[in-house]
Structure 1
Amino acid sequence: MDAAMLGGRVAAWSYQRGWHGRLSVVRREVTVSGQVLLPAPLVIGFASDFHAGPTTHPGVFEELAAQVRRVRPDVLLLGGDYVSLGARHVDQLRDCLGALSAPLGVFGVIGNHDVWHGRAPIEAALREAGIELLHNRNVALPAPFGMVSICGIDDPWTGEPCVPAAFAGAGPVRVFLTHSPDGLHYVDGETFDVAFAGHTHGGQVARADGTPMARPQGPLSRRYCYGSFDLPDNGPLIVSRGVGCSKLPLRINADPELVVCTLRSQ
């Protein structure tokens, strides 16, 4: 596959013609239920599925970093699949990762492509960039948002996800971070105010109305392929189309995106 992409030249040709799509900012609003009052609206940025490697031109990473600098979210979440076709390709992300910052922190989880291609060097590069990885654990945000916990799990299918560990001791406002919507399989009674997932790319190639031409593997990834979904007894699940390209250096009617979600009290 790497050879078929001519060392990234096919991706460069696609990107220059606009066939990676145009990266946009997609805004969402979530109201936190219950009696907990946030001291102010909390702006969460979410980016996923970078797929650094021969199928994604690095120009899209520069676009993402520019949008993060423009939007300036309070906290930034990363949803995994940082590479495709080899952990060595994380080197293409170093400048982008170093530019991703937020005053309350940057947190990430690992995706299936990262597990397949050797997660250790990928995790090392993320930590070197100041990104805190949430492997079945949670972390409270700094003051004045100490009541908000980011709860992250390992990849639902290729990793070792443990939702009870991810939610143990979490605060009253809980943000669930999972690479794919199939992380919901393991929730088993845990509650959260909002969940973020990627993995699906919104199909990556879709009809004009956004309907995917082919849905991803995983029953919940097929059901929740793109958008915001109300879940019973929990907050919404927000599924991003992600940033990069997998398998083919091409996006049609499934543009890359940075999700910006504002959490507000009732």
Structure 2
Amino acid sequence: MQLFFDLLIAIIIIITAFPAVILLYSRKIRKNCWEYKHKKSSLTISIILLFFTALTVYGSFVEPNFLIVNKYNIDLPNINEPIKIVLISDLQAGKYKQTNWTKKVVNKILTLTPDLIFIGGDQIDNENYNFIELSYLEPFKKLSNQIPTYAINGNHEYGVSCFYGINEKCSQTGDMSAETKNVFEKLNIKYLINQTEKITINSSSFYLFGGDEYWAKKLDFSNLKNRKENIPTIALIHNPSFILDNHPFFDLVLSGHTHGGQIRLPFVGPIGRVDNILPSKYYQGVQELSDNTKLLVTSGVGETGVRARLFNPPEIVLITIK
């Protein structure tokens, strides 16, 4: 798959850059050709072609190496002191993102001095059931040694993809969820699988529910019945598509999965679609659902499929709940 997309990128660059160079050469040297006689038109066409060349190169090899921080302030009930939470998702460690990228993400997070770190699934790409991808996660130990860190499964841990929804036939590569959990726990990261944990920090408390993967049909809310206190509940669930089914109320849901579409065009929105079901308004940012649940979806720190991002750089989300 990587070879296919890299070949596609190369073809786009060739079919835009090469004709542009020929046009520019002809309008200057070949006096009897159309390009020479219509210099303005040939220049305009060349500029348009080179623009798409530059856009392809930028989106494939420049923007994916950016790492920005997007900040959100979210009000939740019964929070006495502000709590800073870093959310990252979709590292997709593998063919595009490896150890050096993980180090970059970790070092950037540490500069933000959060109280908690949540890792929202798809830690590995798992396109070909390649265990070397797990070694790219090692730098996360630097985080967990200093800051309480929690993680959950995504669909790539299970190697499952359901473009037409979970009730249709899904594709499967290989299940690496147990191996990923084992690696993270060795890195001192709390790995939640349909578990609820009370967290108290900065004189404030909330429940954190770490849900298992929706596409793998393993998301189970039954553990939530153990909640006894009147404090907020934050759900960390990789795939926001679960909101389209019946689900309990949460004060805040933190998700990833969508990559924000990876490529986003002005006035159009996300181009890359994770399925044909989830509305594009839920691909990035904060939304309020009909039951007043706040949903925050991050566009993630990695790529899958094509090695491209456009107008949608990798992001770390810094949330201040208060």
Q: Compute the TM-score of the two structures, normalised by the length of structure 1.
A: 0.85
Q: Is the 8 A contact 1:153 1:166 kept in 2?
A: no
The answer to which structure, 1 or 2, has the higher relative contact order (CA under 8 A, 6+ apart) is 1
Report what 1:68 is aligned to. Answer: 109
Q: Is the 8 A contact 1:76 1:102 kept in 2?
A: no
RMSD of aligned residue pairs (Cα, Å): 2.7
- Overall identity of the aligned pairs, in %: 22
2:239 aligned with 1:180:
yes
Aligned residue runs from structure 1 range 74-89, under 5 A: 74-84=115-125, 85=127, 86-88=129-131, 89=133
Q: Is the 8 A contact 1:136 1:151 kept in 2?
A: yes
Q: Is the 8 A contact 2:60 2:308 kept in 1?
A: no
Larger of the two Rg values belongs to structure: 2
Give the helix-richer structure, 1 or 2. Answer: 2
Q: Is the 8 A contact 1:182 1:218 kept in 2?
A: no
Tell me how far apart the structure 2 counterparts of residues 199 and 222 of structure 1 sit (CA, whole Å).
13
Report what 2:73 is aligned to. Answer: 29
In structure 1, the gaps of 5 or more residues are none
Q: Is the 8 A contact 1:138 1:170 kept in 2?
A: no
Match of 2:155 among 112, 123, 144: 112
Report what 1:153 is aligned to. Answer: 211
Q: How many pairs does the alignment contain?
A: 254
Match of 1:101 among 125, 141, 144: 144
CA displacement, residues 174-201 of structure 1 (integer Å, 9 cap, x when unaligned): 111100111324553x222211000000
Report what 1:261 is aligned to. Answer: 319
Tell me how far apart the structure 2 counterparts of residues 127 and 90 of structure 1 sit (CA, whole Å).
12
In structure 2, the gaps of 5 or more residues are 11-56, 160-173
Tell me how far apart the structure 2 counterparts of residues 5 and 98 of structure 1 sit (CA, whole Å).
32
Report what 1:220 is aligned to. Answer: 278
Report what 1:203 is aligned to. Answer: 261
After superposition, the Cα gap between the structure-2 partners of 1:72 and 1:21, relative to the gap in structure 1 and judged at 3 Å, is same
Task: Tell me the SS of whatever aligns to 1:60.
Answer: helix
Q: Is the 8 A contact 1:136 1:152 kept in 2?
A: yes
Report what 2:195 is aligned to. Answer: 137
Q: Is the 8 A contact 2:197 2:209 kept in 1?
A: yes
Q: Is the 8 A contact 2:61 2:308 kept in 1?
A: no
Q: Compute the TM-score of the two structures, normalised by the length of structure 2.
A: 0.71
Q: Is the 8 A contact 1:78 1:106 kept in 2?
A: yes
After superposition, the Cα gap between the structure-2 partners of 1:224 and 1:39, relative to the gap in structure 1 and judged at 3 Å, is same
